[in-house]
């Protein structure tokens, strides 16, 4: 083979290599774009799924010596309370108690009387959800 035929072969190899590099670079860009788009969509779905519990303890009543807390949910998602505490005036815990029935589920826009085994007459009370959100009450 002469020198002219080798030159034509190297041009074809160079063209094929450039084409392969371009396709690989384009594939990497598409994969990065799709991953970024999926991560953003997942984050938006997570933020919309985890709406906070927005509730207020509006009254505490004496239920045979135990405290019963009337809770109103003014948020957009259900509040699921799993624990109850009595509080000192400075916010420190005075004692922990149980919600009678285990949990208290308060749908949006409704109120519920949450019966507890805590003694009535503490300066304050706290309800806690299963994801750590709390609602406090100090007289009123």
pLDDT digit string (tens) for 59-118?
A: 999 999 999 999 999 998 899 999 999 999 988 888 999 999 889 999 999 999 999 999
- With H, G, I as helix, E, B as strand and everything else as coil, classify residue 102: coil
Considering the domain architecture, whether residues 65 and 127 belong to the same structural domain is answered as: yes
The residue with tokens 């624990």 is: 83
Range of the domain at 15: 1-50
Kindly indicate the confidence band of residue 57, based on its pLDDT and cuts at 50, 70 and 90: very high
Give the residue from 56, 137, 128 showing the smallest Cα distance to 96: 128
CB 125 within 8 A of CB 91: no
Kindly indicate the confidence band of residue 47, based on its pLDDT and cuts at 50, 70 and 90: low
Instruction: Show which of 26, 50, 74 is a domain's final residue.
Output: 50
CB 125 within 8 A of CB 136: yes
Could you tell me the pTM of the whole model? 0.64
Considering the domain architecture, whether residues 62 and 122 belong to the same structural domain is answered as: yes
Considering the domain architecture, whether residues 40 and 66 belong to the same structural domain is answered as: no
Total domain count, the chain = 2
Beta-sheet strand order (sheet of 66-73): 55-63, 66-73, 111-119
């Amino acid at each position: 083979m002469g020198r002219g035929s080798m030159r034509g072969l190297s041009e074809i190899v160079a063209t094929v290599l450039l084409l392969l590099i371009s396709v690989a670079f384009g594939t990497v860009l598409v994969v990065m774009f799709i991953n970024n788009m999926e991560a953003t969509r997942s984050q938006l779905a997570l933020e919309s799924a985890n709406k906070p519990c927005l509730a207020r303890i509006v009254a505490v009543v004496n239920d045979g010596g135990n405290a019963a807390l009337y809770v109103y949910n003014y948020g957009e998602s259900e509040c699921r309370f799993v624990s109850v505490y009595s509080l000192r005036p400075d916010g420190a815990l005075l004692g922990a108690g149980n919600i009678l029935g285990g949990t208290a589920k308060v749908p949006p826009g409704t109120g519920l009387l949450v019966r507890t085994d805590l003694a009535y007459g503490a300066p304050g009370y706290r309800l806690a959800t299963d994801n750590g959100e709390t609602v406090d009450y100090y007289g009123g």
